[in-house]
Amino acid sequence: MVATIGLTAGDIDVTMDRATAPCTVNSFVSLAEQGFYDDTVCHRLVDTGIFILQCGDPTATGTGGPGYTIPDEVTADTTYPAGTVAMANRGAKNTGGSQFFLVYADTDLPADYTVLGTMDQAGIDVVGSIASQGVDAVDQTSPIAEAKITSITLG
Domain of 23, in residue numbers: 2-154
Burial class (CB in 10 A: 0-12, 13-18, 19+), 25: buried
- Residue 52 confidence (pLDDT): 98
Which residues have a Cβ under 8 Å from the Cβ of 48 and sit 6 or more positions away?
none
- Among candidates 127, 94, 118, 121, which has minimal Cα distance to 27? 94
- Among candidates 79, 85, 78, 151, which has minimal Cα distance to 124? 85
Residue 122 is inside which H or E element, if any?
helix 121-131
Please list the ranges in the chain whose pLDDT falls under 70.
Answer: none
Instruction: Please work out, in degrees rounded to the nearest 5, the angle formed at the alpha carbon of residue 150 by the alpha carbons of 19 and 83.
Output: 40
- Residue 79 confidence (pLDDT): 97
Instruction: Please work out, in degrees rounded to the nearest 5, the angle formed at the alpha carbon of residue 15 by the alpha carbons of 9 and 18.
Output: 140
Burial class (CB in 10 A: 0-12, 13-18, 19+), 110: exposed
CA distance 64 to 57: 5
Asked whether the whole model's pTM tops 0.95, one would answer yes
| CA 126 vs CA 7, 147, 152: distances in Å | 9, 10, 15
* Per-residue pLDDT tens digits for 15-55: 999 999 999 999 999 999 999 999 999 999 999 999 999 99
CATH of the domain at 55: 2.40.100.10
What total number of domains does the chain contain?
A: 1
Task: Kindly report the length of the chain.
Answer: 155
